[in-house]
């Protein structure tokens, strides 16, 4: 098969890449990587020594592509029927901007919460955790104001921004629930987690949900 995706079904950044593949029914060979095992991750590390997934290998074109947003851009240009980064230049930078917003100000903050839960008790960072939760809540309030022009982040078209928002909100809401204080965000979130492409990724992650190092474990959308 031409495309190989090195990933783990539980990983939030891998969900972004999976959504893009599933949105466009792009065939690929899934390669599940266990980062804790040298042998399991060796092939992926040879392609991308940073050692973070997702990594996409395109055997036909001879490339290894890292970084979830770049993978989506690459799939858009070479494999997608329906682009996730809009053709229109202004819509394109907006999709990229909100993608950065979800990665940097929601997903990365959520990563801090996960990382803290993996620390030994004596090395915990309650101040850092409180700051990360505050940042997530602030991002919810900011995005509430952005919503309203359609079903998705930029309007009625589902874009890169929605790919990033889906796992970011899915995992962040375990620690910072999305409430009626942000009703548009709440309705948007419900649409994201019920979209067939993301539901498919979540269904594949479900057997591993108990591994998520958070007090509240994820569950499938009702």
Ligand X SMILES: N[C@@H](CCC(=O)N[C@@H](CS)C(=O)NCC(=O)O)C(=O)O
Residues in contact with ligand X by the rule CB under 6 A: 11-13, 35, 51-54, 67-69, 103
* Nearest residue to ligand X, by Cβ distance, number only: 52
Residue 84 buriedness (CB in 10 A; 0-12 / 13-18 / 19+): buried
Nearer to ligand X, 51 or 213 (CB): 51
Q: Which is nearer to ligand X, 45 or 191 (CB)?
A: 45
Q: Is 51 left (phi over 0), alpha (psi -120 to 50) or beta?
A: left
Name the region of 195 (left: φ>0; alpha: ψ -120 to 50; beta: rest): beta
| Residue 71 C-beta: closest distance to ligand X, Å | 7
Q: Is 108 exposed, middle or buried (0-12, 13-18, 19+ CB in 10 A)?
A: middle
- Choice between 69 and 182, CB closer to ligand X: 69
CB 86 within 8 A of CB 73: no
Q: C-beta of 38: minimal distance to ligand X in Å? A: 13
What is the nearest approach in angstroms of ligand X to the Cβ of residue 82? 22
Least Cβ distance, residue 12 to ligand X (angstroms): 5
- Residue nearer to ligand X on the CB measure, 51 or 207: 51
């Amino acid at each position: 098969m031409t495309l190989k995706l090195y990933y783990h079904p539980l990983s939030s950044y891998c969900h972004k890449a999976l959504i893009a593949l599933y949105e466009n029914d792009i065939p690929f060979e899934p390669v599940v990587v266990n980062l804790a095992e040298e042998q399991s991750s060796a092939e992926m590390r040879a392609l991308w020594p940073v050692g973070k997934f997702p990594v996409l290998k395109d055997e036909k074109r001879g490339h290894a592509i890292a970084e979830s947003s770049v993978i989506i851009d690459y799939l858009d240009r070479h494999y997608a029927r329906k682009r996730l980064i809009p053709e229109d230049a202004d819509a394109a930078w907006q999709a990229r901007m909100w993608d950065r917003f979800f990665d940097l100000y929601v997903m990365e903050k959520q990563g801090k919460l996960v990382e803290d839960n993996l620390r030994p008790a004596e090395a915990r960072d309650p101040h850092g955790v409180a700051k990360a939760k505050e940042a997530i809540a602030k991002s919810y309030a900011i995005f509430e104001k952005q919503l309203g022009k359609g079903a998705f982040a930029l309007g009625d078209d589902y874009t890169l921004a929605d790919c990033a928002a889906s796992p970011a909100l899915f995992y962040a809401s375990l620690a910072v629930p999305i409430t009626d204080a942000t009703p548009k965000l709440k309705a948007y979130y419900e649409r994201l987690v019920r979209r067939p492409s993301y539901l498919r990724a979540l269904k594949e992650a479900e057997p591993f949900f108990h591994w998520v190092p958070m007090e509240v474990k994820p569950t499938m959308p009702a």
